[in-house]
Homo-oligomer: A and B are copies of this chain.
Amino acid sequence: MAGDGTDQRALQYEQTLMYGRYTQELGVYAKEEAARLRESGQRKSISATRNLDLLEYNKGRCAKCRICTVRCQKFLISRVGEDWIFLILLGLVMALVSWAVDFCIAICLQAQKWMYGGLDSNVFLQYLAWVTYPVVLITFSAGFTQILAPQAVGSGIPEMKTILRGVVLKEYLTFKTFVAKVIGLTCALGSGMPLGKEGPFVHIASLCAALLGKFMSLFGGIYENESRNIEMLAAACAVGVGCCFAAPIGGVLFSIEVTSTFFAVRNYWRGFFAATFSAFIFRVLAVWNKDEETITALFKTRFRLDFPFDLQELPAFAVIGIASGFGGALFVYFNRLIVQFIRKQKAINRFLMKKRLLYPALVTLLISTLTFPPGFGQFMAGKLTQKEALVTLLDNRTWAKQGIAEEFDYIGNSQAWKHPHVNVFVTLVLFIVMKFWMSALAITIPVPSGAFMPVFVIGAAFGRLVGESMAAWFPDGIHMDGTIYSIVPGGYAVVGAAALSGAVTHTVSTAVIVFELTGQISHILPVMIAVILANAVAQSLQPSLYDSIIRIKKLPYLPELGWGHHEKYNIRVEDIMVRDVRYITLNCCYRDLHNVLLTGHLKTLALVETAESMILLGSIERAQLQSLLSQQLGRPRRMEYIKEQATADKKRLSVISNPCSEDSSHRASQEVRFQISTEESSFSPTRPASQKPLKPALKRVSVVERPTELPTSPHDNSGMALKNLFCASPDAEGLEDDVDVEDDMTIREIAEWEEKQLDEQVNFNNCKIDPAPFQLVERTSLHKTHTIFSLLGLDHAYVTSIGRLIGVVSLKELRKAIEGSVTVKGVKVRPPLASFRDSGTSSSETEATELHKLWDRHKSISLPQDHMPSESDEKSQ
């Protein structure tokens, strides 16, 4: 009773303290708390009801208040586990963040305009203001991100793609990263550089979901489940896009296309729910802020509904699609080229590594100089912000006829496209070309930033260019009979925007995003056609921007099978698997373990029954084996041994009858042991032991000839095995071992003892074994293997044939096989092996042969067993 009371108080105390601790150590704290809650979970649920009754009689004035608190807590804990509460909270938080970021960005941009406008008396001062402002902001953003959390740099979609595949990226989902990303992003976009907020928002939403999950796990247990967390992260990605563009459907689809390989349809509603709620709040905030009268699209268009486009305009849309495909591929290639160029130039690289903030500053200076409105900027609508540019590009009216001033009232921004001496076509072309390389360059700046929006604007400009050309070519429209329907260049801009952004990101759902952004779906067919064509072209030329970044950053990710992957159906696992598997047997000795750990670098090792049968029993993690080995050779065990030795010595001293015979037998057996152990380790499972043939042999020799020589230095022999293993910090290990050299044993004795220990059979009792590692068959196709790997998020899979381990396939081999260009051990993988094979029925034969072997082996093993009578009986027939 009293215990329960203090428990309760302690909980309340912790919960008030929590906010104080939140910022810095939530991770550890949440874990501890969750563990505590889990342990006391059942006890509490039983005692909670008792609490309620007992508290009635409790001393103190606030008994009622407490009962109420307890009841509220109970209710909260029971309800808070529901997914929808989590999703609503996530949506709400993200909408607020998105709105706040937008608000801050708008203020920043206004400030720049105001400064630039106020100084119009002096062009030089104007230029200084125009240039300094973004340089300062970008430099601050880069520096802030660098210091607080370098993981926040870039878009974050490649990382999320990797995380959703099941890979744990360190520090990518922490509060620090959240702060760095939000503030860094606001500053970066406030500078007016051609950067986007959509990629970072995917990351921010995921961060939000991860932090919210940790926070919610204080109330209930289900937030600890890993698969649930991944489901929530997938929903969060949708929220990120959804609240960035107020595009719930497009957000869900885009996030699926960009982050998932296989999508669980049961998570679909989560994304929709959270993204809709988030988009709703995001737009409601705008209404409350009196920016809008009601909830409408972000970039509302006003195209006519009755005749949106003519059938005969479709070829023009198709051209936009194809050209966008090439443009998108070029953008990705160009971006990669810049990164690789900077990396390769050692001198530049070394200089930039020292002065990390110089590169952002230089790039910003270059870009902002070129867009300076009184300078070159006047030929490329340089004074417009990204948002303003997009609004004018999606405009309803036709520019080519110079009939800009018609019935609409916001002429202001459209004026920027009109230059007194230069044609609007030239302005558009310059805008496209300049923005193209500027965007590709800008997204290499190490600040939190995305590429979607810049690409979107470039695409819109390209579409507008085609549209204006069409309008100039057919001033009265193409339609023949009856009413004149003039061409709407704004519709072309919509198509171009969707096509180019689709080409760069390799997604089809940009079409949906465009509909939601503009609030009109009348151009659905042109948009779909252009997006599909752009995707077809871009996907056959280059990886998507995100995959390109994944490759540049060398993140552990499995590439997609491309559009035409027929040959993938013909490659089998046996073509790509590594036949030389590191394994340990059930009856191996510690020396084998040691050797295996020395030669391989895989994270997990296969456990087979015997080296002959090779029946796969499970897999063990490397760390587990290392701990086994260190236990066996560790100090505690040695001390035990010394104690035993001491008691044995005492006994020997007391019973001194026949010392010599015992000793000699002991020594003889030991020598026999060495001989045999040598034999056995030549037969040891680690076949590639020949890679390091000298060391083990030397070591063994030195021990066998033990009376002849003393080791020269204590570092040579003591803890040898251990030192070889943990070579990362050999000195520390050596020192530790050196310390206890003095306590009771000489170095030689320790070495000797270790050698003895190494020859003992391994006891796997306390070892955690994965009893069902994933298995494939030799004839599994590459296509199926890829599917399974990406479905289950595997890192490696064993290839077995009727229980026998014959190979292993890891992500690396698979990636090589898919990318095709890399060869496996000198042989180009794809065509030679795949083409020689007939898809006939040889599989059953080989299986039968394998089985036969196993069967024969089994017969010979089971011969001396209890099945013998029946077998002899059979032979007698």
Do A294 and B266 touch (CB < 8 A)? no
A148 is an interface residue with CB less than 8 A from chain B:
no
Do A279 and B525 touch (CB < 8 A)? yes
Segment at the interface with B among A133-141, A151-159, A673-681:
A673-681
Closest B residue by C-beta to A803: B617
Closest B residue by C-beta to A862: B587
Q: Mark A491-524, 1 if CB is under 8 A from B, else 0.
A: 0000000000000000010011001100111101
Given the known inter-chain contacts A249-B512, A772-B776, A865-B861, please indicate yes or no for A589 contacting B847, CB distance below 8 A: no
Do B764 and A848 touch (CB < 8 A)? yes
Nearest chain B CB to A606's CB is how many angstroms away? 11
Nearest chain B CB to A736's CB is how many angstroms away? 26
- Residues on B with C-beta less than 8 A from A283 are 525
A519 to B304, CA, bound (A): 12
- Residues on B with C-beta less than 8 A from A623 are none
A610 is an interface residue with CB less than 8 A from chain B:
yes
Of B38, B791, B800, which contacts A792 at CB under 8 A? Answer: B791
Q: Mark A513-551, 1 if CB is under 8 A from B, else 0.
A: 001100111101100110010011000000000000000
A564 to B865, CA, bound (A): 54
- Residues on B with C-beta less than 8 A from A871 are 761
A731 is an interface residue with CB less than 8 A from chain B:
no
Nearest chain B CB to A762's CB is how many angstroms away? 10
Q: Mark A853-877, 1 if CB is under 8 A from B, else 0.
A: 0110011011011010111011011
A162 is an interface residue with CB less than 8 A from chain B:
no
A42 is an interface residue with CB less than 8 A from chain B:
yes
A174 to B803, CA, bound (A): 39
Given the known inter-chain contacts A225-B569, A617-B803, A861-B861, please indicate yes or no for A42 contacting B838, CB distance below 8 A: yes
Closest B residue by C-beta to A791: B791
Interface residues of A in 669-718 (CB under 8 A from B): 669-670, 672-673, 676-677, 680
- Residues on B with C-beta less than 8 A from A765 are 848, 851-852
A227 is an interface residue with CB less than 8 A from chain B:
yes
Interface residues of A in 755-811 (CB under 8 A from B): 756, 759-761, 764-772, 775-777, 781, 783-784, 787-788, 791-792, 800-803
- Residues on B with C-beta less than 8 A from A519 are 305, 521-522, 524
Do A305 and B294 touch (CB < 8 A)? no
Given the known inter-chain contacts A283-B525, A525-B280, A765-B848, please indicate yes or no for A771 contacting B308, CB distance below 8 A: no
What are 21 pairs between A and B in contact, CB < 8 Å?
A227-B784, A260-B265, A261-B264, A263-B264, A264-B787, A266-B561, A276-B529, A296-B308, A297-B524, A300-B305, A305-B520, A519-B521, A520-B520, A586-B855, A618-B802, A676-B870, A759-B870, A759-B874, A765-B851, A765-B852, A766-B848
Besides A38-B838, A766-B848, 18 more A-B contacts (Cβ < 8 Å) are: A222-B566, A227-B569, A253-B253, A268-B508, A269-B563, A272-B532, A280-B529, A283-B525, A294-B308, A302-B306, A520-B521, A586-B854, A609-B615, A670-B877, A759-B873, A761-B874, A765-B851, A768-B844
